[in-house]
Amino acid sequence: MTSVIELERTGASALVLCTGDVSAFRERTWGRSVLVHRGAGPNAFAGLLSLDDVDRILSTTSLRTPSFRLVKAGEQIPESSYTRSGTTGSKPVGGMADPTRVFELFRTGATIVLQGLHRFWEPVSLFIRDLELELGHACQVNAYVTPPGAQGLELHEDPHDVFVLQAFGRKAWDVHAAPGEPTREPVHATIDPGDSIYMPKGTPHAASAQEAVSGHLTVGVHVVTWRDVMARAWRLVEREPAFDESLPLGWHRDPAALEQVLEDKLGVARRELARLSARELADTYATDFLSTRPSLLRGALTDVLELGEIGDDTPVERRRGSVCELRPRGDRLEVLLGDRRLEMPLWVEPAMRRIAAADRFRVHDLADVVNDPDSRAVLTRRLVREGLLTIVR
């Protein structure tokens, strides 16, 4: 069974596994053209999802819609064909997977789609955290598991950039030109375990029938555009009270007068835009991104039971996938942890920079930056409680 504690990966970054040459991808491919990447190795994505993992998820976890669905030949299968109702805590619950019916539909040609897999399957959650931090864009993951001989997805486009990661089996793809590419014939590619495809937003593509069971992950990349950034800047500008005034009565019959008033309002907008700080806007965007990622807190329930035992000899380590970005703000230190932000006194900055750069250490290793043993223990307890650190057992 695939471990849910640790990905079985080569040590390469998530983006390297998806693209091979990150520099070439950034400079020539990102947002522009299709890339079929081979050579990451057959086990590159094996730790993310296996057929046994799919069996386990559907047969033991009472998975509910919309976290999964079934399709066949491009058509949605009615949920009533593969779900059941029950009770939890005396309350009725619907949309639960009925494993017997799900597996029978799979046997007869239905594709199982696990939706939002990054939210409930830890290997995928960890991989996507790495990928998001490299890309700087939020990601979501669906898994598609297709039985032998079944028809895959029909020709369609996605409203976001996509990475297709082949976890097990093989699948044949027809990938047409991306919107920014010159007109060309479709790329016909059969991808094996460890292979991947990158497609910019709006790229027409289809998955063909295959002779063996196939499982791939579709990573949707929700790209932030400059339009998004400028819209945020405008939301700051539009707070100006001058824009709350209504147009004068009969404005539509006096274009010259309207032009004059409009010129005044545009002048207000220009002045307000000129007051904005590009540095502050950039910092706000980065801060939001680094504090709104999904939580990765495996093991934290056990940790909180042992907080009182943390002392100078306690070994701790950075939680896998954790973020620790530091932002001095006057006499305070803002700490971005991926899923949240903390405010701390500025005097802890040297200790936090030591912790941010460390993988594993004992609490006493902070003695040269935090002299008092009790203060070291208090700081460590808080960071364990917040999920940045975990106790090494």
Over residues 33-52, the pLDDT tens digits come to: 999 999 889 999 989 999 99
Mean predicted confidence (pLDDT) in 75-86: 96
Mean predicted confidence (pLDDT) in 354-368: 97
User: What is the reported pTM?
Assistant: 0.91
Q: Residue 164 pLDDT more than 80?
A: yes
pLDDT at site 8: 45
Phi, psi of 316 (to 5 degrees): -135, 165
Mean predicted confidence (pLDDT) in 191-195: 96
pLDDT at site 4: 33
The 3 state secondary structure assigned to 147-213 is CCCCCCCCCECCCCEEEEEEEECCEEEEECCCCCCCCCCCEEEEECCCCEEEECCCCCEEECCCCCC
Q: Among 6-10, 15-19, 63-67, 201-205, where is mean pLDDT lowest?
A: 6-10
Q: Residue 2 pLDDT more than 50?
A: no
Considering the chain, what percentage of its residues have pLDDT values greater than 90? 91
How buried is residue 253: exposed, middle or buried, by Cβ count under 10 Å (0-12/13-18/19+)?
Answer: exposed
Confidence bin at 9 (pLDDT 50/70/90): very low
DSSP code, position 108 = T
Give yes or no for a cis peptide into 66 (omega within 30° of 0). Answer: yes
Q: What token pair was written down for 188?
A: 């016909």
Confidence bin at 12 (pLDDT 50/70/90): confident
Q: What token pair was written down for 282?
A: 């950039």
Among 112, 109, 118, 108, which Cα is nearest to 98's? 112
Confidence bin at 11 (pLDDT 50/70/90): low
Mean predicted confidence (pLDDT) in 222-233: 95
Give pLDDT tens digits for 318-349.
999 999 999 999 999 999 999 999 999 999 99
Confidence bin at 204 (pLDDT 50/70/90): very high
